[in-house]
Amino acid sequence: MSGKGLRTLSIATVVVMAGALALVFFYAPLEAEQGFLQKIFYVHVPLAIVTLSGFVIGGLLAIQHLRTGDGRWDMRSYVVIHMSLIFGVGTIITGSIWAKGSWGHWWVWNEPTLVSFLIILLLYATYQPLRFAIEDPERQSRYASVFAITAGAFVPMNFLAVRLSTAYLHPRVLGSTSNLPGSMALTFLVSLAGIALLFATLCTYELTAKRTRAQVRALRRALLGEGTGPRAARGRSAVPALHNPPAAAAGAAIRRGG
Amino acid sequence: MAASLLALSPALPLHTAGKYVAGAYIVLFALILIYVTIMAIRLSHIQRELGELLEISQRNAAEPSLEHEPAEHDARMAIPVEGHQ
């Protein structure tokens, strides 16, 4: 996606997020037990949902990569997992702030939901080093896809296990919108849509930037005669290699004086 | 206009949990801001690199006799070396 599509997505994200903020602070009523502190959940829970969904989507994209052998799916999987990690850090920080306000502690080690989320985040924190450790781009993308699928399958299993085993210590205020009053449910759904759109927009920006960077590199190689192919002048990198024949062809045309 | 909008809006109970709620939302916006800054830096790198490539392609076009030589080699040859007359 580029040009008009990216612009539309960006505008939609800004509009929905602004609407969500307005609803959170000026429309949704104060929760009876937690009061104003509960407003954190309108950002914390959507961040957590989008993060975990992103990890699963990364696994699905990796399946598509292994099925087709097309490097573009690997790039998409990489970007989605990368962005989910950033959103995961946001989830942990906002959750810790809520915990400090509500429980008086930044972190509670005997709370299964918190610890299981941290385990998932640490698991995915090894994704980048794994990629970086393998120099051959083909092997790197294959191994990374296998990791993404395995870890992606672990996410819903872990979520279900925690749900089934805990005594519901972690508040489920927004765990299911069915228990919420209408105004709170609407606010939560708009917030979720806003965070999901933000995730999609940032992923699209990242993908566009990486494609542009790969095309510029291909053009440089073609202009300077530094060799061809994804391995040429690449060195060790955790970022998936992209093949760009159109850019290389364009560079060759320029070199020929065309 | 902003003042009238603020006057119309309901008062938020910021005195109780305000600092925690503000902190959580500031974290979200800080993450977005950091990301936008990183993207801006990347964009400036791409812009600079494209400028260099444009310069190289223009130089190649202006020197038809050296069109099959790599541009980096051309650049090195154009610099006079002292002591090698």
pTM of the model: 0.78
Q: What is the pLDDT of residue B80?
A: 39
Task: Note whether A257 contacts B61, CB cutoff 8 Å.
Answer: yes
Name the residue of chain A whose CA is nearest to B30's CA: A90
Which among B20, B46, B52, B69 is the top mutation candidate for probing chain A, defined by the most A β-carbons within 10 Å of its own β-carbon?
B20
Does A1 have pLDDT greater than 70?
no
Share of chain B above pLDDT 70, in %: 55
B18: helix, strand or coil = helix
Task: Note whether B21 contacts A37, CB cutoff 8 Å.
Answer: yes
Q: What is the pLDDT of residue A257?
A: 43
Which among B21, B38, B44 is the top mutation candidate for probing chain A, defined by the most A β-carbons within 10 Å of its own β-carbon?
B21
The full DSSP string for B10-77 is PPP-HHHHHHHHHHHHHHHHHHHHHHHHHHHHHHHHHHHHHHHHHHHHHHHHH-GGGTTS-HHHHHHH
Give me the interface pTM, i.e. the ipTM.
0.74
Instruction: Tell me the CA distances in angstroms from A186 to A19, A28, A41, one per residue in order.
Output: 11, 8, 13
The 10s digit of each residue's pLDDT in A16-27 is 999 999 999 888
Q: Provide the 8-state DSSP code for A193.
A: H
Q: What is the pLDDT of residue A175?
A: 52
CA A100 to chain centre: 26
Q: What is the pLDDT of residue B76?
A: 43
Beta strand residue intervals within B1-85, DSSP E: none
Q: Which residues of A87-111 are buried (b: 16+ CB within 10 A; e: fewer)?
A: bbbbbbbbbbbbbebbeeeeeeeeb
Does B3 have pLDDT greater than 70?
no
Give me A256's structure tokens: 């020929």
Distance CA A251, CA B8 (A): 60
Q: What is the pLDDT of residue A22?
A: 92
The 10s digit of each residue's pLDDT in A216-252 is 988 888 888 765 555 555 667 777 876 544 444 444 4
Task: Note whether B20 contacts A40, CB cutoff 8 Å.
Answer: yes
The 10s digit of each residue's pLDDT in A70-115 is 889 999 999 999 999 999 999 999 999 998 888 888 888 888 888 8
The 10s digit of each residue's pLDDT in A44-79 is 999 999 999 999 999 999 999 999 988 899 999 999
Distance CA A148, CA A6 (A): 26
Angle between the N-to-C axes of helices A71-103 and A182-224, in degrees from 0 to 180, rounded to the nearest 10 = 140
Mean pLDDT estimate for chain A = 84
Give me B71's structure tokens: 């541009």
- Domain extents for chain A? 4-203
Domain A4-203 has CATH 1.20.120: yes
Does B65 have pLDDT greater than 80?
no
Q: What is the pLDDT of residue A79?
A: 95
Q: Tell whether B20 is within 8 A of chain A (Cβ).
A: yes
Name the residue of chain B whose CA is nearest to A199's CA: B32
Does A145 have pLDDT greater than 50?
yes
| Contacts B25 to A, Cβ<8 Å | 21, 43
